[in-house]
Structure 1
Amino acid sequence: MWTNFKTYFNTYYNANKIFTEAEEKILEERKELFAYEEKPINSNISKDLNEVIEKTSAILQHNKESDYVSEALIMTGKSFYYQQNYSRALRKFNELSTIEDSELLLENELWTAKTLLQMREFNKALRLLDEVKTKAIENEENQILIDTYRSKIGYLIYNKEFSSAISEINQFLNAEIDDELRAAVLYEMGLMYKISEEYELAEKAFIEVDEYAPTFEIDFNSKFEVAKLKGELGEEDQSLELLQELRDEDKFSDSWGDIDLEIGKIFYDKNEIDKAFDKFTYVDTTYKSTESGGISGFYRAEILENFYNDYDSALVFYKKTASSGAPQELKLLAQKKSVLLNKYISFHEKLDDLEKQLLYLTDNNSFIQDSLDYVELLKLDSIKAASNPNKNQNSKLNRNQQLNTKYKMPQRPKISADSVHALNSRYYFELANLLFSEFDNPDSAFYYYTLSLQEKENNPNQAQTLFAMGNYYAIKQNKQKADSMFTLVYNKFQFDPIRNEAAKQIGKPLYDFNKDPVEEEYIVAEAIYDSLKYQKAINRLFDIYKENPKSIYASKSLYTIGFILENDLKMPDSAASVYDRLMNEYKTSEYAKSIQNKLGGYKQEQQRLQAIQDSINNTNSSQNITGVEETIISSEANLEIDDSIKTSINNSTETDDSTSTNKTIQEKINKNVVSKSDNEQIISRDIFKIGNEYFVQVSSWKSKEIAEEELGKLIKKKYSGKIIESFVEELNAVYYRIRLGPYDNFNSAKDVRKKINKY
């Protein structure tokens, strides 16, 4: 007796008081009726529990004979449990289970089961919970029975076993529980039915809540769920009526934002877009710091994007949603939408800029007019700023910066019209991909795929574009057109891996791009290159290209030849010639695509230098000054590989092997090798005038034989022309220039220049 008295007043009383207060705080924060995961407790509560453990440990150490050992053990176990130290908690519960006459054995089994659940020993835990439930019913331990149901149902919900959870809830409702708890259990059952999409049973459960004694929160939530379920069941008008009834009750004013959000959703579902947008706007602005406000902002962005096509404003609201009180999954979706819209807007800005550049390239008056308008705007803005009586020194300092931000000064294009078309084609293609894959808008995607193909004749993305158009027709269930597109890709693009994707669609055999019989030959050529025998490697690579034109190693060999010439032999003009051949013959290969931008930049620079030389020559011509003659040398003329390869490359494009035809062409060439005329005039870039006749210069060669071969190709294509033999003093060399003509007027010559040179 004395031991019990001393233990109680010296230790147990204080430990129990601290524990009870700590547990009350923990349970106040855990409002879920059915929960599995234990949330971490704050540091102050954990400190209190440490004190409890210290005192109960003292009882277990110094007062083993007292009647408070069982209480000390279960308090210690619970304290460790709340601190999420489950292994130590389990040891204390196991220790208590050995005290056979303890009145806490059933409660101890419950906490043992709860601990096993947290330690993820689910099967053992569930068996023990069922045993506790049976004993609790037999012994009329109602609170233990309630806690057992809550633990098991919480786990089943966490594990998404909703049908089992509903079955367990129905058993729970048969237990002796008060009306407030019964109302809460019915509400949770309604939520389970809703998740399982059993909407009618969910509605029945929510309605039944009102027959008992729900708390204020459960009362509103159950009625709110009934109103929303009416919409899910297609009864939008009744849903609106019930929502409006809730909205009219002042006692639910704290939930008006949620109610108005649901009303907006009903309008949205009914396709009453303007009403929905107005309602979402009201919620977003009135309850902007709440979850309903964040969700409404997302819906505003969605409507702006999908119905009003106001992408700039939609982007603003998606960004706003990402930092709002909206649920995390919606914020992540808003962030993704922001990224996609940024890309979409960026593409259109680039395309608009290119459209302006093309206008300036083709219409100089537009550039002049825009420049004059820009200057006028600056003047007006300056006058306005000067007349402002509130101006200050700081505004003066920043005025120029503000004007530059407000108005964009017209800039003359720094790229050619061809480059504009190439960029347009690329951006149309990328925009189409974005619309097809991310915006799920195949019709708009098809429109931009079409524009991409129209912009550039030698489109590097042609295979992918045609394949995507085939997919478009497949989506539209137009099998004939889809198969036609896939067949075109399969037949035309033998060196593009997308050929196999097309083959899958039309049942054609697949090509193994990873294995080619020419591979071993290419490896030998690479080994020669690695041994620094560049000329021999070039010869071997050229043989691969020439003898295996349909192998993927043909394009790779040309690319490697160009690489050696560019990087090892430092012959950029010769490399450009090989790259140009690669682009012309294997434009859809990955190697051609990899050098497209580089080659384009090289050609653009050559055109720039040519334009400067033209300007100099025009000046000299007008002043009748004799000087160093203009030299126009084709990049292919500098291809310094051995003569046999040169001849092979130039002969590779011949299509007419007839001896008599070649003889006739050669006779025409021999008659048309003449010396430079003294009275020729430079009219424009590559256009010359002799008397009343106009000629177009297409290339210039150091080798007469190569010049004759090139002219022969043009004669076969029904062009007339001649070779001008010209000595260039500055270079101390003779060049053979191919000129087509004569033509009666400048415009005819210009049209031929455009057709031959593609500019």
Structure 2
Amino acid sequence: MLTSFATKVIGEAMNARTHPAIFLIACALMLLYASCGTPIGGFFNKQYENVVSYFNTYYNAEVAFDDAMKDVQATQGRAKVDDVLEPVTLTPSANQKFTTVIEKCSKLLQYHPTSSYVDDALLMIGKAYYYQGDFLKAERKFRELLVTLPQSDLVPQARLWLGRTLFRLRHPDEAVDVLKRLAEETSKSDRPISGEAYFALGYISLDQGDSAGAVSAYEKGLSLSRDKVRNAAIAYQLGMIEEKLGNWSNAAAAFRRVLDYKPAMNLEFNARLHYAASLSRINEFKKAYSLLDGLIGDSNYRELIPQAELERANVLRRQGKLEDAMAEYTRIDTVYKGTETAALSYFELAKLYENSFGDYARAYQAYDNSRNQSATAQTNPEAVKRADLLRKYLELRSRIDKIDSVIAVQDSLRSADARNDSVAIDSLQGVQRKSGKAEAGPDTTRQQGEIQHHDSSTTLAKLDTTLRRKPVPPAAAIDTTSLSGHTSVSREQTRTQFLSLDSLRFIRAKAEYELGTLFYLDLGRRDSAERYFEAALQDGPKEEFAPGVLFILADLKYSSNRADSTVRDSLYDRILAEFPQSPYAAEVRRLRGLPAISVDVDSAEIEYTKGEDALFRNEVDSALRSFRIIEERFPNSSFAAKATYAIGWIYANVLNIPDSAIANYRRVAQLYPQSPYAAVVKPIIAEIDAKEKPQEPVKAPSAPIKSVAPQAAPKPEEVAPPVSRPKTEIDEQRLPVEHGRQRVLSDSLRTPIKRMTEEPAP
């Protein structure tokens, strides 16, 4: 009886953190019996050791651990996923407290190795290391407890923490094995531990992308756990998974389930918010409005009310009340300007403009406003991306509109010029000189509803390198006054200068091609992509656009015709027949299992590319050298006319040497009269000839050019002098600008033309 009484007193003393009198009585009893050489004395010796070790070390360690865990729980509560397995950043204070825990418990193990708190100390040290991120040391402590104290009642906890630690050490398979065996073995004997093991398995499944496995594990854990606070967090996580999967009924049930437990205030608000959103997805709008109105009217959620107002606007949008939703979004981003809620509101408004109204101009502005509201808004990356894509769309549409306007103006100018209508010419030329951004509206090919994103195949991504080429500026105007040397010419002496219609169409085709690319790869509008690709195919040079466009159109037609391969195969046949040496033809052969063919290397094209690249780097001398090599070595190449024109263009627009420019333009017209570049320079030559005394023209070759030696045509040195002034003296005001860097070549120069398979006419 005495032993029983002493045990009871000592037990009270162990819990006497606030009752020092009980502790003193217990110590007196132990001192009284400790000196006895009886079993009772031995018993008191053991209990005295426990009391001393508890109050000297373990108690202080436990207090420090509890204080540190308050900081950890506060941090985890702010995280997206409230879970022990979620990485957490410790505050300096919490880290120091865990260090204190390790020191105190280590002293207990050193000085009181027979204490009954050894297993508690080992487990607490392991947890402290775990939260500090030292998972190797944590693993050693958990395994030490399991090996040295296999009969301890803390073994299940040690196994649970070992499984968590193995996952953080990036051993997920081993972690799953430990946790699964623990969950099954303790499902009846220790339901809380089994529930936590299933929760950990759910987290690991979710981390590995197994949503179904996560849902199954979380459900099993909820059926076993009795911790209502923990269950509320898990049920919320379950709802978020179902929401991400688009299982709106299951999501609504999970969020409703959160309210059955004991969620913290913020968690309860978020659960109600998502519950309302899920209900609106299954057309239960009345319940959704009721929930949201309740949140908006609850003073306990005063700081969170803007989120509820935003979700109410979202419900209006889902219900199809688009005008009401737009008005609500506008009110929210005005009232809460500069906040994360305003950023989210602008983002939703932008999606409404883009997807429902097809108003890309307003959508761009809303995306731009969204990304400038709050640095912490989760939609910022997507807002930046969409704003940049729509800005590019607006620029390309503006370019096409301007080109169409110029074509229309020139048609009118030609008619007026034929009538010698000077008033009309002055008026139209004034229109042509006007500049300014076009206000691009919605794309006419857009369909109502959500964007259907398209993930292009690896093959397309590898092949279509030209899709991402930056646009080049329109052709620089040729200053015929500087070419002729006159500063003023009377109207009677001057004929109206017209741009080449082919050049204008090519510039438009370039923009159409880029728009097709934008819709195909970025905006996910396959119908619009198809329209613009077909327009580019019609307007642009065949070899520049056709192979890639045909290949992409084959994919678009195949998808839009329910996997009917007939149209696709016919387009593939065109690629093989018309462009057999293109990389797209090679890919078609690979797809069909046909043997590959050798591709001819065009040395003239390689040399032209070198000259072109040099010119874009403002290395004018190197560019002229490459273009002259083409003139001399490859006079029959389709790049010969282009190279000669490039030389003249450089003298006219970069070096400002009019005589050399016009000399090279004359060579283009004389040697390559059937080329599109001859069509560009002939009006310039005619203008010069009309202003000056006509000169004896150089006779064109009497027979088709078969092999032209360098002496058969005037040498470049005889036509134009070398660069007469350093590059630093180039008038930069004459250089086109694109994306902040100098560009010095016209669109017609940058793009290969249709190869001239026929010899020039004599």
TM-score higher than 0.5: yes
Other-structure match for 2:702: 708
Q: Is the 8 A contact 1:686 1:697 kept in 2?
A: no
Note the alpha carbon deviations across 1:570-594, whole angstroms, 9 max, x for none.
79668337666322xxxxxxxx5xx
Shift of 1:112: 3.0
- Counterparts of 1:101 and 1:483, CA distance in 2: 73
**Equivalent of 2:578 in 477, 482, 492:** 492
In structure 2, the gaps of 5 or more residues are 1-44, 414-424, 436-475, 481-497, 612-620, 675-684, 707-717, 719-758
Q: Is the 8 A contact 1:193 1:202 kept in 2?
A: yes
- Secondary structure in structure 2 of the residue aligned to 1:581: coil
- Counterparts of 2:558 and 2:179, CA distance in 1: 56
Q: Is the 8 A contact 1:96 1:105 kept in 2?
A: yes
Other-structure match for 1:229: 278
Other-structure match for 1:51: 100
Q: Find out whether 1:115 has 2:170 as its counterpart.
A: no
Other-structure match for 2:73: 27
Q: After the TM superposition, which residues 533-544 of structure 1 pair with which residues of structure 2 at under 5 Å, given as runs?
A: none
Shift of 1:493: 2.7
Note the alpha carbon deviations across 1:63-94, whole angstroms, 9 max, x for none.
33444433333332222121111221222233
Other-structure match for 1:345: 394
Q: Find out whether 1:428 has 2:518 as its counterpart.
A: no
Q: Is the 8 A contact 2:478 2:652 kept in 1?
A: no
- Counterparts of 1:95 and 1:10, CA distance in 2: 23
- Counterparts of 1:118 and 1:635, CA distance in 2: 71
Other-structure match for 1:12: 58
- Counterparts of 2:542 and 2:218, CA distance in 1: 69
Q: Find out whether 1:154 has 2:203 as its counterpart.
A: yes
Alpha-carbon spacing, 1:207–1:422, altered in 2? closer, same or farther (3 Å): closer
Note the alpha carbon deviations across 1:520-567, whole angstroms, 9 max, x for none.
xxxxxxxxxxxxxxxxxxxxxxxxxxxxxxxx35x4478779999x98
Other-structure match for 1:61: 110
One-letter code of the match for 2:316? F
- Counterparts of 2:376 and 2:409, CA distance in 1: 49
Q: Is the 8 A contact 1:295 1:326 kept in 2?
A: no
One-letter code of the match for 2:667? S
Other-structure match for 1:634: 667
Other-structure match for 2:226: 177
Q: After the TM superposition, which residues 241-640 of structure 1 pair with which residues of structure 2 at under 5 Å, given as runs?
A: 242-288=291-337, 291-322=340-371, 324=373, 330-351=379-400, 363=413, 365-366=426-427, 369=430, 417-418=499-500, 419-449=503-533, 451-452=535-536, 455=539, 460-465=544-549, 467-468=551-552, 473-474=557-558, 476-477=560-561, 486-500=572-586, 510=594, 512-513=596-597, 515=598, 552-553=600-601, 555-556=602-603, 575-576=630-631, 581-583=636-638, 592=639, 598-604=643-649, 634=667
- Secondary structure in structure 2 of the residue aligned to 1:438: helix
Compare 172-181 and 51-60 and name the one that shifted more.
172-181
Shift of 1:610: 14
- Counterparts of 1:321 and 1:438, CA distance in 2: 20
Note the alpha carbon deviations across 1:458-496, whole angstroms, 9 max, x for none.
773344445555555555539777666554443333443
Shift of 1:453: 5.2
- Counterparts of 2:236 and 2:608, CA distance in 1: 76
Determine which structure has the larger strand proportion and give its number.
Answer: 1
Alpha-carbon spacing, 1:44–1:579, altered in 2? closer, same or farther (3 Å): farther
Shift of 1:245: 4.9
One-letter code of the match for 1:87? L
- Counterparts of 1:443 and 1:64, CA distance in 2: 77
Shift of 1:337: 1.7
One-letter code of the match for 1:582? S
Alpha-carbon spacing, 1:580–1:60, altered in 2? closer, same or farther (3 Å): same
RCO higher in structure (CA 8 A, sep ≥6):
2
Other-structure match for 1:96: 145
Q: Is the 8 A contact 1:577 1:635 kept in 2?
A: no
Q: Is the 8 A contact 2:196 2:225 kept in 1?
A: no
Identity in percent: 21
Q: Find out whether 1:41 has 2:90 as its counterpart.
A: yes
Alpha-carbon spacing, 1:570–1:186, altered in 2? closer, same or farther (3 Å): closer
Compare 88-97 and 419-428 and name the one that shifted more.
419-428
Q: Is the 8 A contact 1:156 1:164 kept in 2?
A: yes
Q: Is the 8 A contact 1:80 1:86 kept in 2?
A: yes
Alpha-carbon spacing, 1:479–1:572, altered in 2? closer, same or farther (3 Å): closer
Q: Is the 8 A contact 1:633 1:700 kept in 2?
A: no
In structure 1, the gaps of 5 or more residues are 375-410, 517-551, 584-591, 617-629, 640-649, 651-681, 702-706, 713-730, 732-755
- Secondary structure in structure 1 of the residue aligned to 2:702: helix
Other-structure match for 1:626: none
Shift of 1:297: 1.6
- Counterparts of 1:454 and 1:467, CA distance in 2: 15
TM-score (norm: length of structure 1)? 0.60
- Counterparts of 1:435 and 1:489, CA distance in 2: 23
- Secondary structure in structure 1 of the residue aligned to 2:226: coil
Shift of 1:194: 4.4
One-letter code of the match for 2:160? L
Aligned length in residues = 566
Q: Is the 8 A contact 1:470 1:486 kept in 2?
A: yes
One-letter code of the match for 1:602? I
Q: Is the 8 A contact 1:70 1:96 kept in 2?
A: yes
RMSD: 5.2
- Counterparts of 1:574 and 1:166, CA distance in 2: 70
- Counterparts of 2:569 and 2:181, CA distance in 1: 65
- Secondary structure in structure 1 of the residue aligned to 2:703: helix
Q: Is the 8 A contact 1:18 1:52 kept in 2?
A: yes
Q: Is the 8 A contact 2:547 2:575 kept in 1?
A: yes
TM-score (norm: length of structure 2)? 0.60
Structure having the higher Rg: 1
Alpha-carbon spacing, 1:601–1:558, altered in 2? closer, same or farther (3 Å): closer
Alpha-carbon spacing, 1:214–1:137, altered in 2? closer, same or farther (3 Å): same
Other-structure match for 1:721: none
